[in-house]
Chain A
Amino acid sequence: MAREQRIEVTVNGRRYEKTVPVRLSLADFIRDHLDLTGTHLGCEHGVCGACTVMLDGRTARSCLTLAVQADGAEIVTIEGLRSEDGKRHIVQDAFFENFALQCGYCTPGMLMTTIELLQDTPNPSEAEIREALSGNLCRCSGYQAIIKAVQVAAEKMQK
């Protein structure tokens, strides 16, 4: 098997063509090869959710995905959430304004999971929010402020 492979991906609206080792994870590709370090690694085991990115519109754990699997895909990372004129995404604003981050290490994954949740369920109950976020670990916040932020974002997005 070839040890390297050429891939073509779009990340945050920009197209990249790169040759990558086949064993390279998508997380390492994004962080080390594209220098987009906003995506974090907390376990590299698919448990903590810190590495969550959007892959063709759905959340994916970039630590468990290989870069070569993303060939042809469209990826959004936390760096791609702001609009072109630099305005924060509603979910980013809601997290900031509701003190939903402390160390901020879990935040990139939390934002992605929240965006997916609100796409699928625009008006989630507290239980639905907790369930949706249960695959994203946060060691700092106790989740309460995060849940509040998701609720505020849901409200704002409906307007």
Chain B
Amino acid sequence: MSDTRFVNQRAVGTSVLPDEAIPLVEGDGRFLNDIKLAGMYHVAFLRSQHAHARILSIDTSKAKTLSGVIKVITGKDILGKVEPFRSMPNRFSGGESVQHWLAVEKVRFCGEAICAVVAEDRATAEDAVELIEVEYDPLPAVTDPREGEKDDAPRVHDTVTNNYLIKREYQRGEPAKAFADAHLVIKRQFRIHRKQALCLEGRGVVAAWREGSFPLTLWISHQLPYVVRHYIALHLGLAENDVRIIAPHTGGGFGQKASIYPEEFLCAHLALTLRRPVKWVEDRFENMVASTHARDQYIEVEVAFDKDGRILALGSDIWVDVGAYSTYLWSAGMEPLQTGGLMPGPYKVPAMRYRTRGVATNKTPVGPYRAVGRPSASASLELVLDEAARKLSIDPAELRMRNLIPMEAMPYRNANNLVHDNVNYVPCLKLASAKAGYEKLRAEQKELLSQGKMRGIGISCFAELTGLGTTTAVGPGTLLQPGRDAVTLRLETTGVLTIAAALPSQGQRIMTAMRQVACDELGIKLEDITSMSNDTSMAPYGFGTFASRTAVFGSGAVIQAAKELRRRILALGAFLLEVPVEQLTIANSEIQTLDRSKSLSLRAMAERSFFTAKGIPDELNKGFEVTSFYDPKHGSFAGGAHIVAVDIDTDTGQVSITRYIAAEDIGTIINPAVVEGQIIGGIAQGVGEALMEELIYDEEGQPRTVTLADYLIPSAIDIPNVELHHASTPSHALGGFKGCGEGSIIGAVGAIACAVVDAMSRRGGDLHEFPATPERVLRGLGVVT
């Protein structure tokens, strides 16, 4: 990087107001459901009412005759015409699952789509769905992974010998020896229930045939436009360049909109065959049963400690209820492999073993949701650390301090084979403790306990691998290495810089972040920089938004591309101003001599280079558009420590959070206010995960939580004021950035779980099943049975 870049103050590090939010606050957003095209048809789905059943017959005759109905199709109608979803190969795969876009012969979960109705409007399509008659032959359902793994369990898929979709055993170091020699071994079992991302806006698609210059255009509420483009083409037998994908404003993603689902693909097929635009928007019921679920683990953890509370070995056994199908693209390995593999978090673990399984059941498939696997894994380990602290009479904060990977030991390869470098785990815990007034907090707790009140304090330290480059697969065991993304910088002839990337935002303000970085790198004023990040017809290749990667990739690629663009600008500037290039810089959207005696606006230069280029040597006028791919190769760990105090109402079992302190290391911060929103938003989801959110199924595999009245997410009165502090250290990635989208949910679930159990343990109570609902808390206290 040149050292003459900055005349003005740096934009990175300031809370630049995000222009991209203006349409949203003014009511001018364009979400999927806001799109209306001439002649557009609407789609509704008939969904299975059974968890597992053979389809004996489908009678669509009445539905077809309803006025306004255009077409009714079943799974058989598209058999052989489109390519169903076969589970992605995974090194740890068990049996294969094949998911037809509309069920063929069998249904395997409640909510699975069986028929699609196309009609002139949605209400008519829904009316027609009601008129379809399906005859089922119900089959025994698998509803629990530990039952489902047994040899005599019913099979979810016919072609397999058991219900394992994923199975892995891992060992490193000598865990058996460590357990045998340990001073203390703690073994615990946990049950973490099923939940879901609950985007406030469901999924949706508008698929249009020959709209503009592409045979197929898809507006889709999705996090990965290019990935959708690739797979749409593959499954419909098109060429990729026949397809344009646009991700409009998106009302939350959190991983749920990072998978590929049958409904959207089916709509693309319908648009092609009907030669009309079609639209499908998921309603809340559909979202509860047909969009991916998450978590749902049984976790047995065993940790060996020496007498000072240092971890000697970690062992775990994990069963994940992954639902009926291997989630397309990511495979069924997400929760099982990450729960096992990432359990060590920020702690030094010299030896490790785990056995993990993803067992197919007759439930909605499990897919990625914010921080996949880690909230459950981290909470399990943190609860064990607390128990060790109690047994060894070591303060829980001190015990964690002894086990955290210190900066001096980095780069540090942990027993799960991941390398930690440049992460302030220890400073984060120190900072959180200091800001919390940890000793005082404990003294207060003692006082309250002596008054008969139930106060608990929980600490959780976490690590989050962000911004993964090509050397680490995001989906463990899969072939996918989403580690390269590109950005195009284009200086328009008006002197405005356009940044294009395929990194859609669901509120992360990635466009603002990239503008800030470009402003610093190029000396172009923020108001002269625009960006777009959601349209494959304009953006260069990129994987999209997930796994806390977007700011790292977008910003890194901007830095790289800016270097070349800057070189071209200065070279032409030198020619036009007739001064040596070394004497020039760019500031405030102008090319200036360092002594500011001469200047030329970027607009004048850009106009000249295009409209009146005569006389400019070709080698100085190669165009002011640069595309650059960025691959950080490795990932960067972000980390942090959360400290939480809770009060439990002994009559109702209700948990309320009284203090919440978070200290995080997320690398160089681009926009502090945006980052704060990401972290606190993650904590809020963690509060829901730890205390409230649970998708309930009965023994037949019927979902019991299908509306927002049954599935509770936190409201403004459930979330505490978060005291957020930073102990940042730059990563090795360009710009020193790390991701910050997911870490805080890990910290929140662990810290809250520990605080609840801390309070309960003072009354001889315990809890090993989460969320810690009032009922479970009372049961854990022995108040109710």
Contacts and interface: CB of A to CB of B under 8 A. Distances in A.
A44 interface: yes
A67 interface: no
B717 A131 contact: yes
Report, as a range, how many residues of chain B touch the other chain.
Answer: 35 or more
A155 interface: no
B409 interface: no
Contact of A103 (B15, B252, B680, B709): B252
A66 interface: no
Contact of A42 (B284, B677, B682, B722): B284
B252 A40 contact: no
A21 B28 CA distance: 27
A131 to B, nearest CB: 6
Interface string A90-128: 001001111101111111100100000000000000100
Contacts of A45: 284, 707-709
B416 interface: no
Nearest to B675: A99
Given A40-B31, A143-B716, A101 B200 contact: no
Given A102-B677, A102-B681, A135 B715 contact: yes
A141 interface: yes
A42 B28 CA distance: 17
Nearest to B281: A41
Interface in B505-524: 506-509
B680 A142 contact: yes
Contacts of A135: 715
B747 to A, nearest CB: 13
A135 B33 CA distance: 23
B31 A105 contact: yes
Contact of B681 (A38, A81, A134, A141): A141
B649 interface: no
Contacts of A131: 716-717
A40 to B, nearest CB: 7
Nearest to A49: B715
Nearest to A81: B27
Interface stretch (B18-26, B239-247, B752-760): B18-26
B464 to A, nearest CB: 17
B708 A48 contact: yes
A77 B250 contact: no
A102 B507 contact: yes
Most chain B CB neighbours (cut-off 10 Å) among A35, A138, A143 = A143
Contact of A142 (B198, B201, B683): B683
A79 B23 CA distance: 10
A146 B707 contact: no
A35 B283 contact: no
B287 to A, nearest CB: 9
A142 B15 contact: no
Contacts, number: 168
A50 interface: yes
A11 interface: no
Interface in A29-59: 31, 35-45, 47-48, 50
A101 B15 contact: no
Contacts of B34: 31, 37
Contacts of A111: 25
A31 B36 CA distance: 11
Given A102-B677, A142-B719, A107 B25 contact: yes
Contact of A105 (B21, B197, B200, B722): B200
Interface string B418-439: 0000000000000000000000
Dominant SS at the A interface? loop
B507 A140 contact: yes
Most chain A CB neighbours (cut-off 10 Å) among B22, B250, B677 = B677
Contacts of B274: none
A145 B677 contact: yes
B283 A140 contact: no
Interface string B1-37: 0000000000000010110011011111111011010
A88 B251 contact: no
A140 B252 contact: yes
Given A103-B201, A103-B251, A142 B722 contact: yes
Nearest to A88: B26
B692 interface: no
B24 A107 contact: yes
Given A99-B677, A105-B200, A142 B708 contact: no
Given A42-B284, A142-B681, A103 B674 contact: no
A105 to B, nearest CB: 3
Given A78-B26, A140-B507, A141-B677, A44 B283 contact: yes
Contacts of B674: 99
Interface in B265-315: 283-284
A38 B27 contact: yes
Contact of A104 (B24, B198, B682): B24
B685 interface: yes
Given A43-B708, A103-B252, A134-B717, A96 B22 contact: yes
A129 B716 CA distance: 8
Interface string B103-114: 000000000000
B673 interface: yes
Nearest to B707: A45
Given A105-B201, A140-B507, A145 B284 contact: no
A138 B251 CA distance: 10
Contacts of B123: 21, 23
B252 A105 contact: yes
A139 B352 CA distance: 36
A82 interface: yes
A101 B199 contact: no
B673 A99 contact: yes
A43 B656 CA distance: 26
A104 B25 contact: yes
Given A37-B31, A95-B25, A104-B24, 6 more contacts: A78-B26, A104-B249, A130-B716, A140-B507, A144-B721, A145-B676
27 contacts: A38-B28, A42-B708, A48-B708, A50-B200, A77-B27, A82-B26, A88-B26, A92-B26, A99-B18, A99-B21, A102-B677, A102-B681, A103-B24, A104-B24, A105-B199, A105-B200, A130-B717, A136-B715, A136-B716, A137-B200, A137-B708, A139-B198, A139-B200, A141-B681, A142-B719, A145-B676, A147-B716
Top 7 nearest A-B pairs (CB, nearest first) are A102-B507, A38-B27, A104-B24, A105-B251, A78-B27, A142-B684, A142-B680
